[in-house]
Amino acid sequence: MGIYINPGNSGFAEINASDYVDKTMLIELINQTIGTRNKLTCVSRARRFGKSFAAKMLAAYYDCSCDSHELFDDKKIAGTNDYEMHLNKYHVICLDITSFISGARLAGISLREVPTMIKRAIWKDLSESGFTPFENDTLSDFLVRCAEGGRKFIFIIDEWDAMIREAKDDETAQNNYLDLLREWFKNTTFTPKAVAAAYMTGILPIKKDGSQSAISDFKEYSMVAPRKYGEFVGFTEDEVEKLCKEKNVDFMTMKRWYDGYTFKDVGSVYNPNSVMQAAENDDFDSYWTETSAAEGLMDYISKDYNGLTKTIAELVGGMEVKVNTTGFANDLTTFRGKDDVLTLLIHLGYLSYDSVRKTARIPNEEIKLEFQKSIHEVKHDATLKRIAESERLFAATIQKDEEAVAAQIEKIHSEETVALHYNKEDSLRSVIKLAYYTYRDRYLQFEELPAGEGYADVVYIPLPDTDWPALLIELKWNKSAESAIDQIMKKNYPNALMNLGRPILLVGISYDKDAKAGEKKHVCRITECRI
């Protein structure tokens, strides 16, 4: 066994010894590609979504230098027809690109030299494993000779895109690295003779070179289009529900905090790292900041593209927004406009994407918290104005200043007329969410909260460490604000909040689309309720 050539199964054995959620059917998908024209696979997903775990699992399964039956015989993959056919039958080249980047920086070497470092490391491992090169062999020649013994190579490359991210301003470094990948995976002589299959994982899809992918033979599966790999992006809802039962953790709270990524034919998908940390710590919080991501959310939402500030406000307010994901260059520097920024945020996991409706949204409480932190640091005048207006609106609501609340809601409604289809009750709900922009500082927001004999439109429940009252907001279109308050009381909506031990402000807001010019279109009524 070596470091990069046939590294053994100890990495997966360590994972398996803890609370491992069985994702071994990913192996079956790779098995189906071996020796076919589809043998090159690139799966991109956000940080802390189990990329390295998958890489170690695949290495343990394919590595011919060890016996991994004990690790896999009790797993789902053992029930497949080709389980034994591929188990421990290949030479494995397993590379974590971030480790080479760190090594270059520690040695004071330019990132342009990383491909050379990778080649030397593989050559050294091959030589120490008993393989002998011919004189004047290149690394590719050497690998072909090794494969001639009857065992081809499975390439497993973790964080393939680290060079694209870390050398984002050094095109030469990027091209040197891409040339190495082309040498292995776009070579009509080397690839068929030496490569049984390749599995690359990273955050970004493969870098585009002009109008084409730099390594066009790879089949790509991303956060935008995971396709058959959707259930392996993270934990499925069944897996999380089972884990919660085993750990005696409240599933609905887990769902609110970490659900929100939804893929076709899979349903809900959760961030594995956050779920496991919440279960182990018995504490629901944002574990996103612990991912050591080089990419800061604020850097992207601060970009000065037409419509981006407004779109971020809609997202923070809980709305879905349209996104055109085509044309994204798959790097951190090439942006044509707000759609490219939003597409990057989808790949980074800050937004979830609905491939049917072509829309994005903030997926859950964990990521809402990250957005809320970031918007206070953004220096856009428009963003700062929204924050100030939202703060004043909260103050006016708490002070029961009905005129001020109605005026601000009317202002937001007027500004968002086109996007929100003015004369609809759903659009008024969206206006409320936009207006109470900074709610995450003090509240949790709920829509259509089951309460009493129906569903409350919008509810803001105060955080435990604040002394703010709960807000129960009911909306009426072409009816009176008083009728909204009456509905709240008649249907006993406040009963849903009776255990909070806080005052509850009932806020009724109405909109009259037939009001004449100069007349108020929005009216607000606020009353306090104690249970």
What is the C-alpha to C-alpha distance for residues 118 and 176, in angstroms, rounded to an integer? 12
315 within a domain of the structure (yes/no): yes
Give, in order, the Cα–Cα distances in Å from 199 to each of 42, 93, 99, 174, 348: 6, 10, 18, 20, 20
What is the C-alpha to C-alpha distance for residues 444 and 456, in angstroms, rounded to an integer? 14
Residues 288 and 408 in one domain: no
pLDDT value for 399: 94
What is the C-alpha to C-alpha distance for residues 30 and 43, in angstroms, rounded to an integer? 11
From 46-60, 482-496, 511-525, the region with the lowest mean pLDDT: 511-525
Closest by Cα among 167, 229, 164 to 199: 229
Q: Are 231 and 24 in contact (CB under 8 A)?
A: no
Residue 171 has pLDDT above 70, yes or no: yes
Residues 334 and 424 in one domain: no
5 within a domain of the structure (yes/no): no
What is the C-alpha to C-alpha distance for residues 219 and 206, in angstroms, rounded to an integer? 10
Q: Please give the model's pTM, rounded to 2 decimal places.
A: 0.83
Q: What is the CA radius of gyration of the chain?
A: 27
Residues 338 and 481 in one domain: no
What is the chain's length? 531
pLDDT value for 50: 87
Residues 367 and 392 in one domain: no
CATH code of residue 29: 3.40.50
In which domain, by residue range, is 460 found? 381-529
35 within a domain of the structure (yes/no): yes
Q: Domain count of the chain? A: 3
Residues 485 and 392 in one domain: yes
What is the C-alpha to C-alpha distance for residues 531 and 513, in angstroms, rounded to an integer? 35
487 within a domain of the structure (yes/no): yes
Instruction: List beta partners, residue 471.
Output: 460, 505
Is residue 187 within a helix (H) or strand (E), and if so which, with residue range? none
Amino acid identity, position 349? G
pLDDT value for 227: 93
pLDDT value for 419: 45
Model pLDDT for residues 252-304, shown as the tens digit of each residue: 999 989 998 999 889 999 999 999 999 999 898 888 764 444 357 888 888 88
What is the C-alpha to C-alpha distance for residues 15 and 12, in angstroms, rounded to an integer? 5
Residues 74 and 21 in one domain: yes
Is residue 96 within a helix (H) or strand (E), and if so which, with residue range? strand 91-96
228 within a domain of the structure (yes/no): no
Residues 200 and 267 in one domain: no
Residues 515 and 398 in one domain: yes
Take residue 21 and report the two structure tokens written for it: 């959620």
Residues 306 and 243 in one domain: yes
CA angle 293, 355, 26 (to 5 degrees): 65
Question: Helix or strand or coil: residue 447?
Answer: strand
Residues 248 and 119 in one domain: no
Residues 330 and 441 in one domain: no
What is the C-alpha to C-alpha distance for residues 159 and 165, in angstroms, rounded to an integer? 10
Q: Are 24 and 76 in contact (CB under 8 A)?
A: yes
467 within a domain of the structure (yes/no): yes
How buried is residue 434: exposed, middle or buried, by Cβ count under 10 Å (0-12/13-18/19+)? buried
Residues 257 and 210 in one domain: no
Q: Are 47 and 98 in contact (CB under 8 A)?
A: no
Residue that is last in its domain, among 332, 347, 375: 375
Provide the 8-state DSSP code for 44.
E
What is the C-alpha to C-alpha distance for residues 490 and 368, in angstroms, rounded to an integer? 33
Model pLDDT for residues 152-170, shown as the tens digit of each residue: 999 999 999 999 989 989 9
Model pLDDT for residues 126-150, shown as the tens digit of each residue: 999 888 888 899 999 999 999 987 8
Model pLDDT for residues 413-424, shown as the tens digit of each residue: 877 654 444 345
Higher pLDDT, residue 384 or 229: 229
